[in-house]
């Protein structure tokens, strides 16, 4: 990624956008590679042909279209969503450790889905995204209320601690459900480790529109996030309606997190690590961090999922495990760099 | 400077009968404040007297329970907040820049009220940012990260951000706090230049009494949520007032060279020296 020109100035939009074509190019390459590798290796040429000039009598084309393309699309959408959500949360809470997973939203969404499917016996896929949204929103509000009760109010530290506590609590409840109801839970076990394998792509019909709206909304709101990150009073002085903006941003983050969880289970570290990596190249203005984080998140999850599929053939590792295994040391490295 | 009749005509910011309360108790109680245009108004008063609250209310950040603030004759709290931001800038107390934000990026945020979804960044924005950095004397470190700068340099960056907003009215809440005396004086010189050379109207909450007396065109003394005295330092910066407002035993002297008022506090255990005798 060192080839990306550092668009370090918020006042030169032309220069700042210059990294976008580079990242788009990398994204296309990662996308094609993701589809090409697997149990049956395909050439990039075959993949392109299958995508542009589909022939259903060619077996390789069918593999590409029916088996691999949906998963690659899923990786792009979920990677971009989680990364963008993490970037927005870091700006709003002025907390470099903010992330949908760390602040309890991911656990809230997962918890709601587990309860709805195992305890309430809900099976229709249509409801999953909405249940996940309710769960993420509920967890976010509880985390915020707990943080506010701490002396000193909802500071980055109190939010992180209360997020960790709520995540741990919800995970514990999920475990209890697991122990009490092994049968239903067996279906959820793989989903709960987070991954893109064997996902129901028809779900995309339901979560696609809200995700698209939230991604666009997030990029449009990004310039305000920088203003908000300078403090409520500075932002209000510059004419930002801080209360309304925070509600809009919460809605964007909840939709992106919940839909990602519905699609791929609770994937950690993407929302935390990717915005930090992006910051090294584009600086601290969210106007640039947010769109770049979306692109980089999509590339990252494509890459991680490619590894998950080919690392120990013929078996497949859960994507969530790989994101954590790569994300954790990457995060430690970032923390070390910042404190040095 | 100008007669009271002309001041009245050009009055752009005015608070009328302002009461502001937090949880039952009034921090401001029926306060009237008119801001003379093109001058420096400085608010002083002991901690908790309501001077910051008054400034924030005048800047529409706080909504009064009674009374109203008029910006160009219209109730500021009912105006669109973004259009207010094109006329009135605010520098709150102790602002913190996001980690890693460069000076230029910080100053550029001052252009927010002038931007829309469709009109993102123009030549005028670029010029305003460069001009503001030039006036504040921070052009040399435009591409450095704000958190690597000294306190005085950082405060100049924030002033530049408010300047980039290109408003005639600028409200500042304790801009000199935690700065070295030399840096405080430099900053106040910068602000005085804005008012007297560039026609900006400034309202500043200050802690330092001697700085307030030295720079104010119009001094406002507050105590217990009320305005106790307003006027020029020559008129109201007296030992009796300081005793009344701050409960401070002090002498107020006139510096023979500059003619400005200086406050010399007298503590009970201060070092005693023989009075200076004429040589």
Please indicate, yes or no, if residue A224 is contained in any of the structural domains.
Answer: yes
Q: Cβ B101–A11 below 8 Å, yes or no? A: no
Residues of B within 8 A of A280 (CB-CB) are none
- CATH class label, B1-87+167-237: alpha beta
Kindly state the helix (H) or strand (E) to which residue A307 belongs, with its residue range.
helix A286-310
Residues of A within 8 A of B120 (CB-CB) are 13, 223
Residues of A within 8 A of B55 (CB-CB) are none
DSSP type of residue B270: P
Helix (H/G/I), strand (E/B), else coil: A202: coil
Annotated domain spans of chain B: 1-87+167-237, 97-166
The nearest CA of chain B is from the CA of A7 a distance in Å of 12
Kindly state the helix (H) or strand (E) to which residue A333 belongs, with its residue range.
helix A319-339
Nearest to A196 by CA among A67, A52, A328: A67
pLDDT of residue A317: 81
Q: Cβ B90–A234 below 8 Å, yes or no? A: yes
Lateral strand order in the sheet of B66-71: B25-35, B13-22, B66-71, B74-75
Helix (H/G/I), strand (E/B), else coil: A138: helix
pLDDT of residue A11: 44
Q: Pick the residue of B109, B122, B164 with the most A CBs within 10 A to test the interface with A by mutation.
A: B109
Which residues, in sequence order, are CB contacts of B181 under 8 Å at separation 6+? none
Q: Cβ B101–A285 below 8 Å, yes or no? A: yes
Q: What DSSP letter does each residue of A222-277 carry, written as one string? A: HHHHHHHHT-HHHHHHTT--HHHHHHHHHHHHHHHHHHHHHHH----SHHHHHHHH
Helices (H), A150-202: 156-180, 182-193
Contact B196, B227 (CB under 8 A): no
Contact B81, A237 (CB under 8 A): no
Please indicate, yes or no, if residue A300 is contained in any of the structural domains.
Answer: yes
CA distance A136 to B106: 33
Residues of B within 8 A of A10 (CB-CB) are 102, 104-105, 108-109
Is the pLDDT assigned to residue B6 strictly greater than 60?
Answer: no
CA distance B248 to B206: 16
Task: Please identify every stretch of chain A with a pLDDT value under 70, giving residue numbers as ranges.
Answer: 1-15, 184-187, 190, 198-199, 338-340
pLDDT of residue B224: 93
Contact A177, A114 (CB under 8 A): yes
Listed by number, the residues of chain A in 52-81 with a beta carbon closer than 8 Å to a beta carbon of chain B are none
Q: What percentage of chain B has pLDDT greater than the value 70?
A: 95
Helix (H/G/I), strand (E/B), else coil: A177: helix
Please indicate, yes or no, if residue A8 is contained in any of the structural domains.
Answer: no
> How confident is residue B5, by pLDDT bands cut at 50, 70 and 90?
very low
Please indicate, yes or no, if residue A3 is contained in any of the structural domains.
Answer: no
Q: Cβ B126–A240 below 8 Å, yes or no? A: no
Domain limits for position A32: 13-339
Cα nearest neighbour of B164 on chain A:
A238
The nearest CA of chain B is from the CA of A103 a distance in Å of 20
Helices (H), A37-100: 44-52, 59-62, 69-92
Lateral strand order in the sheet of B218-223: B88-91, B169-173, B201-205, B40-44, B218-223, B226-231
The tokens describing B199, both together, are: 């026609």
Cα nearest neighbour of B115 on chain A:
A223
DSSP type of residue A116: I
Signed CA dihedral, A170, A176, A182, A183: sign only: negative
Nearest to A316 by CA among A328, A326, A304, A308: A308
B105 closest CB neighbour out of A10, A13, A233: A10
Rounded to the nearest integer, the mean pLDDT of chain B is 90
DSSP β-ladder status, B40-44 and B218-223: parallel
What is the dihedral angle through the alpha carbons of B155, B158, B159, B160, rounded to the nearest 10 degrees? 120
DSSP type of residue A68: I
Q: What end-to-end distance do the CA atoms of chain B give, in Å? A: 40
Number of domains in chain A: 1
Please indicate, yes or no, if residue A7 is contained in any of the structural domains.
Answer: no
A230 closest CB neighbour out of B59, B97, B113: B97
Q: Cβ B84–A238 below 8 Å, yes or no? A: no
Where residue A198 sits, what CATH number does that domain have?
1.10.3470.10
CA distance B114 to A203: 42
The nearest CA of chain B is from the CA of A286 a distance in Å of 10
The nearest CA of chain B is from the CA of A133 a distance in Å of 28
Please indicate, yes or no, if residue A5 is contained in any of the structural domains.
Answer: no
pLDDT of residue A8: 42
Q: Is the pTM of this model over 0.90?
A: no
pLDDT of residue A26: 96
CA distance B191 to B203: 10
> How confident is residue B279, by pLDDT bands cut at 50, 70 and 90?
low
pLDDT tens, B254-263?
988 988 888 9
Kindly state the helix (H) or strand (E) to which residue A114 belongs, with its residue range.
helix A105-114
The nearest CA of chain B is from the CA of A180 a distance in Å of 47
pLDDT tens, B130-172?
999 999 999 999 999 999 999 999 999 999 999 999 999 999 9
Residues of B within 8 A of A284 (CB-CB) are 98-102, 105, 145
- Phi, psi at residue B26, to the nearest 5°? -85, 125
Which residues, in sequence order, are CB contacts of B30 under 8 Å at separation 6+? B17, B18, B19, B66, B67, B226
Peptide linkage before A314 cis (omega within 30 of 0): yes
Q: Cβ B165–A238 below 8 Å, yes or no? A: yes
- Phi, psi at residue B172, to the nearest 5°? -130, 130
CA distance B138 to B144: 10
Q: What DSSP letter does each residue of B10-45 carry, written as one string? A: H--EEEEEEEEEETTEEEEEEEEEEE-TTSEEEEE-
Q: How many other CB atoms are there within 10 angstroms of residue A180's CB atom?
A: 11
The nearest CA of chain A is from the CA of B148 a distance in Å of 13
pLDDT of residue A15: 61
The nearest CA of chain B is from the CA of A260 a distance in Å of 28
Q: Pick the residue of A91, A221, A239, A289 with the most B CBs within 10 A to test the interface with B by mutation.
A: A239
Mean pLDDT score, B77-87: 95
Strand partners, B26: B21
CA distance B194 to B202: 8
Using a CB–CB cutoff of 8 Å, tell me whether A242 touches chain B.
Answer: no
Is the pLDDT assigned to residue B4 strictly greater than 50?
Answer: no
Cα nearest neighbour of A284 on chain B:
B101
Interface A-B, measured as beta-carbon pairs within 8 A, has a size of: 98
């Amino acid at each position: 990624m060192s080839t990306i020109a550092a668009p370090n100035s918020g006042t030169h939009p032309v220069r700042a956008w210059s990294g976008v074509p580079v990242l788009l190019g990398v994204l296309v390459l990662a996308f094609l590679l993701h589809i090409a590798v697997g149990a049956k290796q395909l050439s990039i040429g075959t993949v392109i042909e299958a995508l542009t000039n589909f022939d259903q009598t060619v077996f390789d084309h069918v593999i590409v279209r029916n088996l691999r393309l949906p998963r690659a699309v899923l990786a792009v959408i979920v990677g971009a969503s989680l990364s963008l959500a993490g970037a927005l949360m870091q700006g709003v809470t002025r907390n470099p450790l903010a992330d949908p997973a760390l602040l309890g939203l991911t656990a809230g969404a997962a918890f709601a889905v587990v309860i709805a499917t195992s305890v309430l016996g809900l099976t229709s896929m249509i409801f999953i995204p909405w249940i996940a949204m309710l769960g993420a929103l509920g967890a976010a509000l509880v985390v915020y209320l707990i943080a506010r009760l701490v002396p000193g109010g909802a500071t980055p530290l109190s939010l992180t601690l209360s997020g960790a506590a709520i995540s741990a609590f919800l995970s514990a409840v999920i475990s209890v459900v697991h122990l009490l109801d092994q049968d239903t839970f067996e279906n959820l076990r793989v989903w709960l480790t987070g991954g893109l394998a064997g996902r129901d792509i028809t779900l995309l019909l339901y979560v696609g529109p809200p995700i698209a709206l939230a991604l666009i909304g997030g990029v449009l709101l990004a310039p305000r996030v920088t203003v908000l990150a300078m403090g409520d009073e500075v932002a209000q002085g510059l004419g930002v309606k801080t209360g309304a903006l925070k509600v809009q941003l919460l809605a964007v983050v909840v939709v992106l997190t919940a839909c990602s969880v519905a699609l791929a289970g609770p994937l950690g570290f993407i929302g935390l690590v990717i915005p930090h990596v992006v910051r090294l190249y584009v600086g601290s203005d969210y106007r640039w961090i947010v769109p770049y984080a979306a692109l980089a998140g999509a590339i990252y999850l494509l890459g991680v999922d490619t590894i998950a599929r080919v690392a120990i053939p013929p078996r497949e590792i859960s994507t969530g495990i790989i994101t954590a295994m790569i994300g954790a040391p990457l995060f430690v490295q970032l923390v070390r760099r910042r404190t040095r | 400077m100008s007669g009271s009749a002309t001041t009245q005509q050009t009055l752009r910011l005015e608070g009328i009968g302002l009461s502001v309360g937090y949880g039952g108790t009034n921090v401001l109680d029926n306060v009237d404040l008119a801001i003379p245009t093109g001058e420096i108004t400085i608010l002083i008063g002991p901690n908790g007297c309501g001077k910051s609250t008054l400034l924030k209310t005048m800047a529409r950040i706080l909504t009064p329970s009674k009374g109203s603030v008029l910006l160009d004759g219209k109730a500021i709290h009912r105006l669109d907040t973004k259009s207010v931001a094109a006329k009135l800038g605010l520098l709150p107390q102790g602002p913190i820049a996001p980690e890693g934000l460069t000076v230029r990026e910080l100053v550029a945020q001052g252009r927010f009220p002038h931007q829309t979804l469709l009109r993102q960044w123009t030549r005028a924005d670029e010029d305003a940012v460069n001009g503001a950095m030039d006036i504040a004397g921070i052009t040399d470190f435009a591409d450095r990260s704000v958190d690597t700068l000294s306190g005085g340099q950082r405060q100049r960056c924030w002033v530049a951000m408010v300047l980039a907003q290109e408003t005639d009215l600028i409200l500042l809440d304790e801009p000199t706090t935690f700065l070295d005396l030399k840096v405080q004086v430099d900053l106040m010189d910068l602000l005085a230049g804005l008012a007297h050379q560039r026609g900006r109207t400034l309202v500043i909450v200050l802690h330092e009494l001697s700085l307030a007396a030295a720079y104010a065109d119009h001094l406002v003394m507050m105590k217990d949520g009320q305005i106790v005295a307003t006027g020029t330092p020559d008129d109201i910066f007296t030992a009796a007032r300081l005793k009344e407002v701050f409960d401070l035993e002090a002498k107020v002297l006139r510096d023979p060279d500059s003619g400005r008022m200086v406050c010399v506090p007298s503590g009970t255990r201060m070092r005693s020296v023989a009075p200076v005798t004429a040589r």
